[in-house]
Structure 1
Amino acid sequence: MDLRVFTEPQQGATYETLLRVAKAAEDLDYGAFFRSDHYLHMGSTDGLPGPTDAWITLAGLARETRRIRLGTLMTAGTFRLPGVLAIQVAQVDQMSGGRVELGLGSGWYGAEHEAYGIPFPKEKFGRLEEQLAIVTGLWSTPVGERFDFNGTYYQLKDSPALPKPAQNKVPVLIGGHGAKRTPALAAQYADEFNIPFASL
């Protein structure tokens, strides 16, 4: 059994707190340290001292831990452009020596988008589908070869498809409650399908 630690720092945690938790989890031989990707607290807590960014936090932890795997549950597809996300995750994977896992969902918490001036599109699923294709496509395309996504309506022309992650394949986790489209995306792209707070 692989036991992993999951944190929700938007509820109120500093980087130093997250570092202590990640190091303790590593010392206690847990398999991984995951964190949420939210910028606004939920419920009755005040969320102080304020949010931390998931991928900046994981970059720091990548340099300050040795063995434990690091990832997100889930990176919000609404927060980052796919090319930028591919670069961020690949770089953190390099910084960690190949210990990163990418959890990616469509994004759902409208209030945090409004609070930080982040656009909250009505059609999020198509964006998630596009992100998965582009991020995994950029990582798997050999250097120097042209990467095309869905030919007619989106094309990355002459992309260098760099940087590459340290791992041959970064594990991808897809999360969501969709009954048909989300499981189909998970079957196509994911190593793991995460469905929180759901009955059988």
Structure 2
Amino acid sequence: MDLRIFTEPQQGADYDTLLAVAKATEDLGFDAFFRSDHYLRMGDVDGDPGPTDAWLTLAGLARETSRIRLGTLMTAATFRLPGVLAIQVAQVDAMSGGRVEFGLGAGWYEAEHTAYGIPFPRAKFPRLEEQLAIITGLWGTPVGETFSYEGEHYRLTDSPALPKPAQARIPVLLGGMGKERTPRLAARYADEFNVPFASVEDSAAQFGRVARAAEEAGRKPDDLIYSNALVVCVGRDDAEVARRAEAIGRDADELRRNGLAGSPSEVVEAIGRFAAVGSSRMYLQVLDLHDLDHLELIASQVMPQL
């Protein structure tokens, strides 16, 4: 089971805070550092000092880390034109020496679009599908050839399809709980499928839908990596669990039901239940980015048991 650190900087984190978490992620032996792609806080928090851009952040971290994978859960397709996004991601991949993974979602949070003057299209899923075709098409076009695309929402003519990523193929992550279109899209484009904030039972059902869609598309179901994202809250005893839960505005018992919470042994057992239904990678959503002791505890007492 790979363990990855997943952050939500829109809730209140500057670049230096994210850098400290990313360096701890690397030093403590975690597999990757991922971040959300949002420009507005959620819930009852002030969000100071304001948003940081996902790909600008990852570009900086690409130069200040050396081992960990870097990526997004998920880049919002509504934020960037696909040609520009393909350039940005390829450049960060080169800056990192080939350590980028690319999660892309349709975009959903209308308030952040309104707050920053970003158009919020109603037909988001068709745009997502076209973006995937364009971005992967640009990356996959042989050097010296051009790429053109004619869709309902985007048109590209004789693009030089440059720059190229450092990796032969940047892993593409898709996710969500859609029962029909989402599995079909994953079967066509994804290297990894992620189920966010769902139960073991719901994860198993969605993994099954994606596996069937992959077979129908002529792929082997195990060509894809299946993963989960869940809030993490680990403590050496109940008091420490409660303290960490309170620090992120949650209840410890609720997190035990809906996240990965409790003692190291409790969390190992919970992760095992997801592994039993096919998950091989866990994105640990860390909400208190100043509590680096939390990461050390997970690295020293959870990771070795997996």
TM-score, normalised with respect to structure 2: 0.63
Q: How far apart are 1:129 and its partner, in Å?
A: 0.3
Q: State the alpha-carbon separation in 2 of the partners of residues 195 and 28 from structure 1.
A: 25
Q: State the alpha-carbon separation in 1 of the partners of residues 94 and 38 from structure 2.
A: 24
Moved more, 152-161 or 40-49: 152-161
Mapped contact 2:70–2:101 kept (Cα < 8 A): yes
**In 2 relative to 1, CA 170–46 (structure 1 residues): closer, same or farther, beyond 3 Å?**
same
Q: State the alpha-carbon separation in 2 of the partners of residues 96 and 6 from structure 1.
A: 18
What residue in structure 1 maps to residue 258 of structure 2?
A: none
Q: How far apart are 1:197 and its partner, in Å?
A: 2.2
What residue in structure 2 maps to residue 76 of structure 1?
A: 76
What residue in structure 1 maps to residue 178 of structure 2?
A: 178
Matched positions, count: 200
What residue in structure 1 maps to residue 167 of structure 2?
A: 167
Mapped contact 1:148–1:154 kept (Cα < 8 A): no
Q: How far apart are 1:151 and its partner, in Å?
A: 7.3
Q: How far apart are 1:61 and its partner, in Å?
A: 0.2
What residue in structure 1 maps to residue 37 of structure 2?
A: 37
Q: Deviations over 1:126-182 (max 9, x none)?
A: 110010000000000012223233579865222111000000000000123321111
Which of the pair is proportionally richer in helix?
Answer: 2
What residue in structure 2 maps to residue 91 of structure 1?
A: 91
Mapped contact 1:146–1:156 kept (Cα < 8 A): no
Q: Deviations over 1:35-66 (max 9, x none)?
A: 00000000011110000000000000000001
Secondary structure, counterpart of 1:63 in structure 2:
helix
Q: State the alpha-carbon separation in 1 of the partners of residues 82 and 188 from structure 2.
A: 17
RMSD: 1.4
Mapped contact 1:105–1:175 kept (Cα < 8 A): yes
What residue in structure 2 maps to residue 149 of structure 1?
A: 149
Secondary structure, counterpart of 2:121 in structure 1:
coil
TM-score, normalised with respect to structure 1: 0.96
Amino acid at match of 2:24: A
Q: Does the alignment pair 1:136 with 2:136? A: yes
Mapped contact 1:148–1:155 kept (Cα < 8 A): yes
What residue in structure 1 maps to residue 120 of structure 2?
A: 120
Mapped contact 2:37–2:53 kept (Cα < 8 A): yes
Amino acid at match of 2:192: E
